[in-house]
Amino acid sequence: MIRYVTGNPGKVREVREYLDDPVEQVEYDYAEVQSDSVVEIASRGAREAHEAVGDPVLVDDAGLFVDAFDGFPGPYSSYVEDTVGVEGVWRLNEAETDEDERRASFRIALVYCDAETREEEPDGVRVFEGKVTGRLVAPRGEGGFGYDPIFEYNGRTMAEMDAAEKNAVSHRGRALEKFAEWYAEHR
Ligand code: ITT
């Protein structure tokens, strides 16, 4: 049983859709360090969660990196979603850019920690990264979560895809693919 440490049910849906192993959602509020690296945030969170809830744990830190804003909101995506809002991010981007300048990426660090990684890995964890590049559009679609309605990939927003379709192209799907391959071989 893998413990997925998150308060976000949308993430859990995608992870369960992808992995064959059973996944239990654990809501443990690890300290989110001030850092501009999703890898550092998730790695520290995974070590802390591992100590608190036992192993094995997966922690997922993701963000939306907007080209025209030099990567902002990036690691601050959660705060910006709560304050400016998803539609607000779209409106700011629309006001600041021409149509061909609306590139953005989702990036994720999916970090695994168990007793063995603590012994064997230099940072005590194993990191799986994923990235997808698309463009920002006016909100469309009812699925997904977070910034999905304004993130278009190949003509559809991620909110217009179901979990399996999103996993096939998304940052999280790519990280899960690397994780599943490693997990099958090493655990
Ligand atoms: P946990 O930290 O509890 O896992 P969270 O929603 O705060 O949940 P993140 O810090 O990783 O997770 O997310 C940062 C922001 O990016 C937050 O506003 C999410 O809604 C958004 N986000 C993360 N993954 C996303 C995805 O696949 N599609 C759209 N938005 C996403």
> Residue 33 — pLDDT band, cuts 50, 70, 90?
confident
Cα angle value 72/43/5 (rounded, 5°): 95
Tell which residue, 186, 5, 20, has the closest CA to residue 111: 5
pLDDT of residue 41: 94
Question: What is the CATH number for 97?
Answer: 3.90.950.10
Token pair of 69 as six digits: 């804003």
Checking if the pLDDT of 4 tops 80, the result is yes
Residue type, 127: V
Average pLDDT value over all residues in the chain: 96
- Residue 157 Cβ inside 6 Å of ligand 1? The answer reads no
Phi/psi at 96 (5° precision): -90, -15
SS3 readout for the chain: CEEEECCCHHHHHHHHHHCCCCEEEECCCCCCCCCCCHHHHHHHHHHHHHHHHCCCEEEEEEEEEEHHHCCCEHHHHHHHHHHCCHHHHHHHHHHHCCHHHCEEEEEEEEEEECHHHHHHCCCCCEEEEEEEEEEECCCCCCCCCCCHHHEEECCEEHHHCCHHHHHHHCHHHHHHHHHHHHHHHHC
Q: Average pLDDT of 167-172?
A: 98
123 alpha carbon – ligand 1 mean position (Å): 23
Task: Please state, in angstroms and rounded to a whole number, the distance separating the CA atoms of residues 2 and 26.
Answer: 10
What distance in angstroms lies between residue 146's CA and the mean position of ligand 1's atoms? Answer: 6
Structure tokens at 147: 């910034």
Q: Give the pLDDT band (50/70/90) at residue 34.
A: confident
Q: Is 145 in the pocket of ligand 1 (CB under 6 A)?
A: yes
pLDDT of 7 over the 80 cut: yes
Q: Quote the number of domains for the chain.
A: 1
Please give the average per-residue pLDDT across 132-137, as a whole number: 98
- Whole-number Å distance, alpha carbon 61 to ligand 1 midpoint, is 7
Q: Could you tell me which of 128, 126, 106 has the C-alpha nearest to residue 114?
A: 126
77 lines ligand 1 (CB under 6 A): yes
Burial class (CB in 10 A: 0-12, 13-18, 19+), 128: buried
Token readout for 142 is 């009812």
61 is annotated as an active-site residue: yes
Checking if the pLDDT of 32 tops 80, the result is: no
pLDDT given for residue 154 in this prediction: 97
Reported as a single tens digit per residue, the pLDDT across 40-59 is: 999 999 999 999 998 899 99
Q: Which domain holds residue 105?
A: 2-186
The least confident of 25-34, 52-61, 79-88, 111-120 is: 25-34
Please pick, among 60, 61, 114, 148, the residue that the annotation labels catalytic. 61
Is the Cα torsion angle 88, 89, 90, 94 positive or negative in sign? positive
Specify whether the backbone of 99 is left (phi greater than 0), alpha (psi in -120 to 50) or beta. alpha
Reported as a single tens digit per residue, the pLDDT across 101-113 is 999 999 999 999 9
Instruction: Check pLDDT > 90 for residue 31.
Output: no
Q: Is the pLDDT of residue 150 over 90?
A: yes
